[in-house]
C-alpha cells in the first residue's frame, strides 16, 4: 500500500491528474470499474461492426442463386468468423461491460472485488479479437470449419485454425476472470441491508450467469485443447481412423454450448426486468419467481445439450430424454414472459426508446422460444436440423433477444454513463428501422428452412431465390440502421441535455436501487489509497 501511494505521488509529480496516468496509459492501466465497463462496451461495439460486415458479405452472396460476390471457401470463412466474433466478441463483452458499470452501483460497492484482474480480463480480449481477424490472412486461408469447430473439418487446415483455437482459449480465460470477479463482488461487497433477495434482477441474472461460465468454459477449453493435440501431436481423440470419435467432440462442445446460449440471454432477462418496471411505473411482478426461474433455467441448461445432435444416431431413449428436458426448460422461460407482461398490465406505460426495445424483446424473443420448441421435437428436428429454420430460430433469440436487450440497456443507462440525455427522436428511428428490418431478415428464413434450404451454403436452388432476396434486403437495412445507434451514442457523449438525478420522470424511485447522481463527467477518479 505504501509503495502504491508513493508511486501515485510520483505520478502526481509528473503531471498526472490526482496521481493518475492520463491518455492511453490511463486506459491501459485503469482499475476503475466504470472505465473498464466502457472499454468492454467499446470493444463489443467495434467487433459488432466487424462481425456485422461479415454477415452482410454472407447476405450479399445469398441475394441471388449462383456465385456472385465471394468464392465458397471465403463464404465459409465469413460464416465461421461471424459466429465466433458475435458470440465471444460482441454479446459476451457487452454484458461484461454492463456488469462492470452497473453491478457495483446497484449493490452499493465501491468497485469490483479484484480491480487489477478486471483490467487484465479486459485487455486479453483485443488480443483474441486480433487473432481471429488476422487468421483470415494466413497462408492456407482463414478458418472455414464453422464456428462450432467440429472435427474432422477442424483437424485439417492451416495455421489459422491453431490461431482460432488459441483465441478461443484467451476469450475463455477472460470470461473466467470476469466471472470470479463478479461472483466475489456480489457475494462479499453488497451495501449493509442489501440481502440477496433485495438485489436488482440484473445483479441476480449476472450472478447466475457467472456460475454458468465458471462451470462450462473449462469444458470448452478441454474440447479445443483436444482439437489442438489432434491437429499437431497425432492424438486421435476425434479421429475415427485412430480409434477416436468425432461425435464425442459434439457432446463436449454442446455441454458447454448449450449453457452458453443461456449465458448470452440471462443478462438480457435482467436488463429487461429493470427497464419494464421503470416505464410501467410498477414494481416487477413476481420478483421471487423471476429469481427462481432464472436459477431453474441455469440448472436445466446442463441436461439439454444433445438436442443439438438429434441427427448423429443417438439411441431412441437418449433422444426422448433430450426432447423432454428441452421442453421442460420452456416452463421457467414462460414464467418470465408472463411476469413481464403482468408487470406491464395496467401500468402507466410510456414508450421511450429503452421501453420500445424491451417490448420488442418480449414479443420477438418469445417467437424465438416457440421456434425452439419446434426444434426440440426430435422427429421435426431431424427434418429441419442444419437448415435455415435453425438459423432463424437462434437469430430471433440472439438478435431480437440478447442484442435488443443490450441496445435497450445502452439507451436506458446512457444518461447515467455520460451525464447527458440521448436524442429520443433518433433513438425511435433506430428502434423502428431495426425491428422492422430484423423481421424482414430472419422471418423468411423459417420458410426457407421448412422448404429444406441447408445453412452454410454459398449457392442454392432457384426455388429459394425470393425469400433470400427479401432476407438480404432486410439485412442491409438492419446494418445501416446500426449506424444511427453509433451516432446517438457519440452525440450523447459529446453533449446534449444534462441528465438529472432522476432521469426517467415519474418512475418514483424505481430507477436505480442505489441512488447515484449523474457524475459531472463519465469517470469519477478514485481517491488515492494512503
pLDDT digits (tens, 9 = 90+) for 91-111: 999 999 999 999 999 999 999
Does some domain include residue 10?
A: no
Does some domain include residue 342?
A: yes
Average pLDDT for residues 287-299, to the nearest whole number? 97
Does some domain include residue 292?
A: yes
Tell me the whole-structure pTM to 2 decimals: 0.91
3-class SS of residue 387: strand
Residue 44 has pLDDT above 80, yes or no: yes
Q: What's the pLDDT score for residue 89?
A: 97
The residue whose grid cell reads 448423429 is 312
Does some domain include residue 528?
A: no
Q: Give pairs for 496-500: CB < 8 Å, separation 24+.
A: 496/420, 496/421, 496/422, 496/423, 497/420, 497/421, 498/419, 498/420, 498/421, 499/415, 499/416, 499/418, 499/419, 499/420, 499/421
Residue predicted with more confidence, 17 or 89: 89
Q: What's the pLDDT score for residue 140?
A: 87
Does some domain include residue 5?
A: no
Average pLDDT for residues 126-152, to the nearest whole number? 94
Which residues are known to be catalytic? 82, 111, 147, 174-175, 258, 260, 262, 273, 307-308, 333, 336, 455
Residue 498 is part of a domain; what is its CATH number? Answer: 1.20.210.10
Q: What's the pLDDT score for residue 246?
A: 95
Average pLDDT for residues 339-362, to the nearest whole number? 95
pLDDT band at residue 496 under the 50/70/90 scheme: confident
Domain that holds residue 293: 28-513
- 49 neighbors 86 (Cβ within 8 angstroms): no
Does some domain include residue 208?
A: yes
Does some domain include residue 81?
A: yes
Q: What's the pLDDT score for residue 156?
A: 87
- 78 neighbors 246 (Cβ within 8 angstroms): no
Whose CA is closest to 448, among 432, 465, 426, 435?
A: 465
Buried (b) or exposed (e) across 162-197, using 16+ Cβ within 10 A?
bbbbbbbbbbbbbbbbbbbbbbebbeebbeeebeee
**Residue 120 DSSP class:** H
Q: What's the pLDDT score for residue 21?
A: 82
Domain count of the fold of the chain: 1
Average pLDDT for residues 360-385, to the nearest whole number? 96
- Residue 214 CA to residue 184 CA, distance in Å, equals 13
Residue 8 has pLDDT above 90, yes or no: no
Average pLDDT for residues 174-182, to the nearest whole number? 97
Q: What's the pLDDT score for residue 199?
A: 95
Does some domain include residue 17?
A: no
Amino acid at each position: 500500500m505504501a509503495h502504491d501511494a508513493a508511486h501515485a505521488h510520483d505520478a502526481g509529480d509528473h503531471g498526472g491528474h490526482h496521481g493518475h496516468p492520463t491518455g492511453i496509459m490511463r486506459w491501459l492501466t485503469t482499475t476503475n470499474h466504470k472505465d473498464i465497463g466502457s472499454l468492454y462496451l467499446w470493444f463489443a461495439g467495434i467487433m459488432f461492426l466487424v462481425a456485422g460486415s461479415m454477415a452482410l458479405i454472407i447476405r450479399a452472396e445469398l441475394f441471388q442463386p449462383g456465385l456472385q460476390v465471394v468464392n465458397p471457401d471465403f463464404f465459409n470463412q465469413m460464416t465461421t468468423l461471424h459466429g465466433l466474433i458475435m458470440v465471444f466478441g460482441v454479446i459476451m463483452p457487452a454484458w461484461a461491460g454492463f456488469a462492470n458499470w452497473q453491478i457495483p452501483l446497484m449493490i452499493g460497492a465501491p468497485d469490483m472485488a479484484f480491480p487489477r484482474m478486471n483490467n487484465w480480463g479486459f485487455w486479453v480480449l483485443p488480443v483474441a479479437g486480433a487473432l481471429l481477424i488476422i487468421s483470415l490472412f494466413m497462408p492456407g486461408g482463414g478458418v472455414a470449419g464453422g464456428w462450432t469447430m467440429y472435427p474432422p473439418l477442424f483437424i485439417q487446415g492451416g495455421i489459422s485454425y491453431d490461431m482460432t483455437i488459441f483465441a478461443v482459449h484467451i476469450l475463455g480465460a477472460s470470461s473466467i476472470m470476469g466471472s470470479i470477479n463478479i461472483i466475489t463482488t456480489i457475494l462479499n461487497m453488497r451495501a449493509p441491508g442489501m440481502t440477496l433477495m433485495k438485489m436488482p434482477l440484473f445483479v441476480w441474472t449476472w450472478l447466475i450467469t457467472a456460475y454458468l461460465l465458471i462451470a462450462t468454459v473449462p469444458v470448452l477449453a478441454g474440447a479445443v485443447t483436444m482439437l489442438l493435440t489432434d491437429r499437431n501431436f497425432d492424438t486421435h481423440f476425434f479421429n475415427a481412423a485412430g480409434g477416436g470419435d468425432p461425435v464425442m467432440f459434439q457432446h463436449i462442445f454442446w455441454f458447454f454450448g448449450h449453457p452458453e446460449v443461456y449465458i448470452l440471454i440471462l443478462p438480457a432477462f435482467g436488463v429487461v426486468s429493470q427497464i419494464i418496471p421503470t416505464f410501467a411505473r410498477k414494481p416487477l411482478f413476481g420478483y421471487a419467481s423471476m429469481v427462481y426461474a432464472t436459477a431453474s433455467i441455469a440448472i436445466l441448461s446442463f441436461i439439454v445439450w444433445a438436442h443439438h445432435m438429434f441427427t448423429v444416431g443417438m439411441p431412441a431413449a437418449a433422444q426422448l430424454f433430450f426432447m423432454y428436458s428441452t421442453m421442460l426448460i420452456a416452463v421457467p422461460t414462460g414464467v418470465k414472459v408472463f411476469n413481464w407482461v403482468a408487470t406491464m398490465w395496467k401500468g402507466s406505460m410510456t414508450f421511450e426508446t429503452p421501453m420500445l426495445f424491451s417490448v420488442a424483446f418480449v414479443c420477438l424473443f418469445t417467437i424465438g422460444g416457440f421456434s425452439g420448441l419446434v426444434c426440440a421435437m426430435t422427429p421435426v428436428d431431424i427434418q429441419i436440423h442444419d437448415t435455415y429454420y435453425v438459423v432463424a430460430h437462434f437469430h430471433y433469440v440472439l438478435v431480437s433477444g440478447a442484442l435488443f436487450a443490450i441496445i435497450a440497456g445502452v439507451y436506458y443507462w446512457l444518461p447515467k454513463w455520460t451525464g447527458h440525455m440521448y436524442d429520443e427522436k433518433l433513438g425511435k428511428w433506430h428502434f423502428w428501422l431495426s425491428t422492422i428490418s430484423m423481421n424482414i431478415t430472419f422471418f423468411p428464413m423459417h420458410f426457407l428452412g421448412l422448404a429444406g434450404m441447408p445453412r452454410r451454403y454459398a449457392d442454392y436452388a432457384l426455388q429459394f431465390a425470393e425469400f433470400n432476396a427479401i432476407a438480404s434486403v432486410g439485412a442491409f437495412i438492419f446494418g445501416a440502421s446500426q449506424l444511427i445507434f453509433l451516432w446517438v451514442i457519440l452525440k450523447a457523449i459529446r453533449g446534449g441535455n444534462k441528465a438529472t438525478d432522476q432521469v426517467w420522470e415519474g418512475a418514483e424511485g424505481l430507477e436505480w436501487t442505489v441512488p447515484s447522481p449523474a457524475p459531472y463527467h463519465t469517470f469519477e477518479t478514485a481517491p488515492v489509497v494512503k
